[in-house]
A and B are shown apart, each in its own frame.
Chain A
Amino acid sequence: MEPSRGLSAPPGRALSAPIAGLALLAAGVVALPQLTRDSYYLDVATTILMNLALTMSLRLQVSTGQLNMAHISFMGIGAYASALLVTRVGISFWAALPIAAVVAALLAFPIGGLALRVTGPYYFLITFAFSEVVRLFFNNFFVDLFGGPSGLVGIPKPSALPWFGRALTFTTKLELYTLMAALLLVTAAVLVRLEHSRFGLVASAIRQGDLLAETLGVNVFRYKLTAYVVGSLVAGVAGAFFAHSHQVLHSSDFGLEPMVLLVVFTVIGGTGSVWGPVAGTVLMTIAGELLRELHHYESLVFGAVLILTMLWAPDGLVALPGKLARRRRAGVSLAP
């Protein structure tokens, strides 16, 4: 969709930058509960971590040049699958989580396979149509199973896990934060590793010109489908966590509104780098929380912030330091 600044790192170079990035992310995640145990901050932080898993995996799909508006649906599929596996089938959360993720990934094969036949705005619109079908399905069909408009209630928190003779419980906000932090760090490590592999290089080539990549012998469709399925797997994990930490599911949790926020986080942060969604999600969530003070003016100011940020930093926040440095070197003023 967007020409990028070129390959992020030559394949031969050491992985020092991504490892430093991961270490920084891990340090931030570990440091936060040392700084505060306030339940409001822990709630916001847990939501940020869950959204990070979603935006980083969405960005994996965008990195092959496609904006998937049905990403949130796979979170929903993972959430409903895990909730039903635990409440109806009676297996433990720890078995349900991977199964739910695999269910989301398996459904991503046919849906992604169909949607990826079209490109550009058509892909955007067909994935949007898919997401509405999935949401309306959860809302209107099999009400006994999915709970219909009143929602699916009574989902238990994750069960305790034996750990060297002790039992690790996941009931308090801090324990749920720790669980999501562990899930996110594993996810981030996998996605960063993927970005700096052959896969990441080919994805970048596809984004910059898929016709060229195709003529050079790249199976573009297979790469796009792989990104779609891996992204959906991660969304399924996030969904399973969401189901058991919120304990209530509504179809609107996986509708257009939360999806649009994920796109905002990802694009404002910048889709050219694997760290773009991290910057976007953290900064925009904090901005959103601060703007709550404005009450009626909240969405007015948030909307204005989006417009101005995109006009001022069209490649996202992560591209901003480099852009400023280049301008300073060239001695150009900052006026647009």
Chain B
Amino acid sequence: MSIDLLVQALLNGFGLAMVYVLVALGLTLIFSILEIINFAHGEFYMLGGYVTYYAFAVFGLNYFATLGFAILAVGLAGVVAERLIFRYLRGKTLNAFIVSLGLLWVMQASAQLSFGVLDKPVPSAFSGIVRAFGLVISVERLVVSLSAIVLIAALYLFLRWSRPGRAMRAVAQDADAAALQGVDIELVSALGFGIGCALAGGAGGLLAPVFAVSPAMGALPVVKAFIIIIIGGMGSLPGAVVGGLLLGSVEGLGSLFMGSAAVSVLGFLVVILALLVRPRGLFGGA
């Protein structure tokens, strides 16, 4: 087996993994601020897909303008969901599980009723391939991966340097202490939930042309996001990126040697191993 083939397999794995990292980052951001796991996260991803379908495929908006629109619209939907529902569930893991499950069903059923159950194809914005160093990458995948990386970098800069970003990190560390320093917890949790959902919406927009758009499209990326979070550690941004790269390389290399069913078992086995070696994930706190 040549080195080229291995590198090519790794690249194939990494390409989509970066988008799943976006989904995972949204989940982990919401978890670190509200201490809940939002199972309806994939449905916000689905919403991003439908926004992209209507703006890009139906109304013919520019690809990047569509992406920005999807991020804003889904982020707004996230803020609404937080104000109406999730703010009452801070720290209540079990209740949040049931409620987000209910929201998942409501959103999926609404999508089926309003958009239909059939897959809606979104045309590719970019065609062709790039050849470099004996490797072949489709332009579409390249744009998708790079856009995901730009969004990840933007999130990092926002959390690291901006005032609301620092407030979010303070709430994640200790909500009570942050409140005592004058941080508006309600504002931070609405904003955090909105940004988390916006990331999922952006991921849905990025992958809409790669896969088709359908009411159930959110299931796969959320499972991948869970795997990424477990490997990387709950609430850790670098952990999610490393977890995504690990999952991407395991899946990319795994698909060289075995069928897709065995690869999916492999993903979960990596998760179990990771948790046994580092029970809180590679980058998880104590």
Interface membership of A133, Cβ < 8 A: yes
Bound Cα distance from A228 to B154, whole angstroms: 44
Q: Which residue of B lies closest to A62 (CB)?
A: B94
- Pairwise interchain contact A125-B230, C-beta atoms closer than 8 A: yes
- Pairwise interchain contact B234-A303, C-beta atoms closer than 8 A: no
Interface membership of B275, Cβ < 8 A: yes
B interface residues (Cβ-Cβ under 8 A, vs A): 31, 37, 85, 88, 92-95, 97-99, 101-106, 108-110, 112-113, 226-227, 229-230, 234, 261-262, 264-265, 268-269, 271-272, 275-276, 279-281, 284
Q: Given A303-B109, A314-B92, A121 and B37 touching (CB < 8 A)?
A: yes
Interface membership of A126, Cβ < 8 A: yes
Q: From residue B210, how far is it (CB to closest CB) to chain A in Å?
A: 24
Give chain A interface residues in 229-286, CB to chain B under 8 Å. 260, 263-264, 267-268, 271
- Pairwise interchain contact A136-B264, C-beta atoms closer than 8 A: yes
The residue in A121, A130, A132, A298 that gathers the most chain B C-beta atoms within 10 A of its C-beta is: A121
- Pairwise interchain contact B268-A129, C-beta atoms closer than 8 A: yes
Q: From residue B194, how far is it (CB to closest CB) to chain A in Å?
A: 19
Q: Given A118-B275, A137-B265, A264 and B85 touching (CB < 8 A)?
A: no
Interface membership of A199, Cβ < 8 A: no
Count contacts between A and B, CB distance < 8 Å: 122
Interchain residue pairs A-B with the least CB separation, the first 7 = A303-B105, A306-B102, A300-B109, A303-B106, A307-B102, A303-B102, A140-B261
Interface membership of A299, Cβ < 8 A: yes
Q: From residue B243, how far is it (CB to closest CB) to chain A in Å?
A: 12
How many residues of chain A get a CB closer than 8 Å to chain B's CBs?
42
- Pairwise interchain contact B234-A121, C-beta atoms closer than 8 A: yes
Q: Which residue of A lies closest to B105 (CB)?
A: A303
Q: From residue A221, how far is it (CB to closest CB) to chain B in Å?
A: 13
Q: Given A128-B226, A264-B101, A303-B104, A310 and B271 touching (CB < 8 A)?
A: no
Bound Cα distance from A310 to B265, whole angstroms: 34
Interface membership of A94, Cβ < 8 A: no
**Residue contacts A-B, CB under 8 angstroms, 18 given:** A2-B94, A67-B93, A118-B275, A121-B37, A122-B279, A124-B93, A128-B226, A130-B268, A267-B94, A267-B95, A267-B98, A271-B94, A298-B109, A299-B105, A299-B106, A303-B105, A307-B102, A310-B99
Q: Given A67-B94, A299-B108, A133 and B265 touching (CB < 8 A)?
A: yes
- Pairwise interchain contact B269-A300, C-beta atoms closer than 8 A: no
Q: Which residue of B lies closest to A306 (CB)?
A: B102
- Pairwise interchain contact A121-B279, C-beta atoms closer than 8 A: no
Q: Given A263-B97, A299-B109, A303-B106, A114 and B268 touching (CB < 8 A)?
A: no
Bound Cα distance from A298 to B94, whole angstroms: 23
Bound Cα distance from A114 to B279, whole angstroms: 10
Enumerate chain B residues within 8 angstroms of A133, measured Cβ to Cβ: 265, 268-269, 272
Enumerate chain B residues within 8 angstroms of A140, measured Cβ to Cβ: 261-262, 265
Enumerate chain B residues within 8 angstroms of A122, measured Cβ to Cβ: 230, 234, 275, 279-281, 284
The residue in B31, B105, B271 that gathers the most chain A C-beta atoms within 10 A of its C-beta is: B105
Enumerate chain B residues within 8 angstroms of A1, measured Cβ to Cβ: 93-94
Enumerate chain A residues within 8 angstroms of B276, measured Cβ to Cβ: 114, 117
Q: Given A137-B265, A296-B113, A310 and B95 touching (CB < 8 A)?
A: yes
B99's contact among A62, A302, A306, by CB below 8 Å, is which?
A306
A136's contact among B97, B98, B106, B261, by CB below 8 Å, is which?
B261
Enumerate chain B residues within 8 angstroms of A125, measured Cβ to Cβ: 226, 229-230, 271, 275
Q: Given A129-B272, A300-B106, A263 and B98 touching (CB < 8 A)?
A: yes
Q: From residue B92, how far is it (CB to closest CB) to chain A in Å?
A: 7
Task: Give 12 new A-B contacts, CB below 8 A, not counting A117-B276, A306-B101.
Answer: A122-B275, A125-B275, A129-B275, A140-B262, A260-B101, A300-B113, A303-B106, A303-B109, A305-B102, A306-B99, A310-B98, A310-B102
Enumerate chain B residues within 8 angstroms of A263, measured Cβ to Cβ: 97-98, 101
- Pairwise interchain contact A132-B268, C-beta atoms closer than 8 A: yes
- Pairwise interchain contact A300-B110, C-beta atoms closer than 8 A: yes
Interface membership of A311, Cβ < 8 A: yes
The residue in A2, A137, A300 that gathers the most chain B C-beta atoms within 10 A of its C-beta is: A300
Enumerate chain B residues within 8 angstroms of A67, measured Cβ to Cβ: 93-94, 97
